[in-house]
Structure 1
Amino acid sequence: MPGAAGVGAVSGAGEGSGAPGGPGAAGVSGVGEGSGAAAASGAARAPGGSGDGGVSGGTGGSGGSGSPGTARGGKIAAAAVNQASVWNVANLLTMLRLLLVPGFVALMLADGGYDPAWRSLAWAAFAIAMITDLFDGHLARTYNLVTDFGKIADPIADKAIMGAALICLSGLGDLPWWVTAVILGRELGITLLRFLVIRYGVIPASRGGKLKTLTQGVAVGMYVLALTGWLATLRFWVMAVAVVLTVVTGLDYVKQAIVLRRRGIAERRAALEESQG
C-alpha cells in the first residue's frame, strides 16, 4: 500500500520500513527513509519517490535505516544548525551587555569619577545595557532563539552591569553602601534560591519583580548622572522606592519558593505512597 508523503524536520531523516511511498518533502538535510510514516525528526520517503526543498535532497531505501553516510550527513547538518543558533541577535545583545561592563566602569571612574562629561558617557553605556536587557529576552522567546548560553549569560550580564554601577556609586560616596548591599544581596540570594528549588519547579518572574528591575534601572541611572537641585532630590526618592520594591519582591519570592517546595515534597510523597500501595 502506498505510504503517505512526509515532511522533513531539522535533520530531515525519517525511519521505518514498509511499502513504497509517495513524494516527500525533505527538511534541512533532505534525507528520507523508506516507510509510509515519518518519524519525529524526518520524512518518509518511498523508493523511487522524490524529495523537495532539501539542501542535499537524498533518497531513501526501502526499509530499515539509511546508509551510514546519510546518517552522518543528517547529524552534521543538525550540529551545524545548533552551533549557528548560538550566534543569534538575542545572544549578541547579551554579549554586548557583558562587554559594556568594563567600559562603563572605566567611564564612571575616569578623571576621579566626578567629571560630568565622563559621567554622562557612563550613563549612556548603562542606558544601552538596560535597553538591551529589555529586548534580548523578548527576542529569544518570540523568535525561538533560546539557547543554553543565553540562559546562563543573560542573568550574569544583568547582575554584572547593575552590580558594577552600584559598587562604583558607593565607592565614590554617591550612594550608601547599605543600599548596594541590600540590592545585590537580594539579587544574588534570589538567584541562589531559584537554583535550590528548581527540582520542585520554576519560580516565575512576577509583575512586582519586573517593576523592581525598571525602578532600579531608573534610580541607578539618575545617580550615575551628575544631577543637582530638585533632580538630585527626586533620584533619592526613586532609589527609596527601588529599595522598598527590592525587599518586598524578595520576600514574595521566598514565600513562593517555600510553597513550591512544600507542594513538590507533598506530590513526591503521594506518588511514592501510590507506587508502594
Structure 2
Amino acid sequence: MSENTSAKLHHVLHRVAPDVSLHAVVAGAGPAVFLLHGFPQTWHEWTPVIDELAQHHTVVAVDLKGAGNSSKPLIGYDKVTMAAELDGLRQALGFETVQVVGHDIGGMVAYAWAATHRDTVTRLAIFDVPIPGAELWDTIYADPTVWHFAFHQNRDLPEFLISGREYGYVESFLRNRATNHGAFTDRDVELYARAFAQPGAIRSTLEWYRAFERDAEDNRKFKQEPLTIPVLALGGENRWGPKIVDMVSEFGSNVTGGSIPDCGHWVVEERPNAVLVALANFLDR
C-alpha cells in the first residue's frame, strides 16, 4: 500500500526516549486517534481507512518501535515500555487525550497503553489478537496457527533463517492468514518486505514476541483492575473474531464487538468498509 490517499499526510519523527525516536504519519483534524500496526507491517497497514477517519479525526498512524522508520534499539520491547514511549509521542504532538486502535502486536501495545495511562486513553479498539495473560494464553502455543510465536522467540536462529529471504517470509505470512486473498498486491508485499529487511528490523520486530512472558505477567496484574473505558474488540470470522469479545472482557468491563464476516486476520485490508463502520459507531468525534 503506497501513500495512495487523498488526505494530506505529514510525516513526523519525535525522540521519546534517549535511544528511541518514533515515526508517524499524521492526517486530518479533530480528536486524536492513534493507529498501531501489527507484524510484519508498518503504518501503511492503515492506508485503506486513513482518508475516511481523517474527515473527523486527527489520525496518527505510528511505526511501532522496531519497524518502519522508527528506532530499532537492542532492548525495551515489552509492551509497557513501548506504551510509555507512545505516550511520549502523544505529548510531543500536543494531545491531552487519545483514542487508540491496535491490530495484532499493535493491539497488545494498545492495551498496555490504556492500562498504564488511564487518564489519557479514552477509548480503545483491539483488532484480531490474543492478549498475553488472558485465560487462553497458557494453552495458545498448542494452536498450530500461532507456530510463529515459538519460532520468533528463539534467539538468533529466526534472524539467520529469514535474512535474505524477507520477501518470501512476508508474503507467506500475509497470504496464509487472509480469507480475502485480494487484500495484498505484490507491491504491498514488496513494501513490507523492504521495511522488514532494514538493518535491525528483523531482530527488533522479533523482540516483540520475545517479550511475551513479561507482557503476560504485567497484564495479569493489570486485569485485576479492569478498564472502564469503552473497548471495541473485533476479529476476523475465520481467526480471532469468535473469541475476541470474551477474551478482551477479562481486561475491561465495557467491551463490545465481535466477528467480521468472511474475514481472516488482516481485518483492515480484507474488510476496510466493515472496520470503518465499526469505528464510526465507536470513536468520539
TM range (shorter): under 0.3
Give the number of the structure with larger relative contact order, counting CA–CA contacts within 8 Å between residues 6 or more apart. 2
The TM-score with structure 2 as length reference comes to 0.25
**Structure label with greater radius of gyration:** 1
The TM-score with structure 1 as length reference comes to 0.25
Whichever structure has more strand as a proportion of its residues is 2
